[in-house]
Amino acid sequence: MTAPPGPTPREKEVAAEIRRIVREQLHARTEFGDDEELASRLDSLELLSLVVAVEDRFRILLTDEDAAQARSLSDLARIVAARAPEQVAP
């Protein structure tokens, strides 16, 4: 059995930007681990704020299904990287 592939360079780039959003807009004092559950660190209002900020930053729309699948920062980065244009100005 082979291990699942690691994150792509684009997914790493998106994850770094999501971390910046968490730091600057949600004022998180500690970093999120890639596989740490977002719901264990953020309350429902913070999660909603994160989703809105990510949608605004990457100019995408995340569905309820996306939210259910985005349990961790790496999940969210994978979904966003698949949808967002390569070059989105900050």
pLDDT at position 77 is 95
Instruction: With respect to residue 24, please indicate whether it lies within any of the assigned structural domains.
Output: yes
pTM to 2 decimal places: 0.84
pLDDT in tens, 21-79: 999 988 877 788 888 888 888 888 999 999 999 999 999 999 989 988 899 999 999 99
Structural contact between residues 79 and 69, judged by C-beta atoms closer than 8 angstroms: yes
| Per-residue pLDDT at 2 exceeds 70 | no
- Could you tell me if 31 and 43 are in contact, meaning their C-beta atoms sit under 8 angstroms apart? no
Range of the domain at 78: 9-83
88 lies in some domain: no
What is the CATH classification number for the domain harbouring 49? 1.10.1200.10
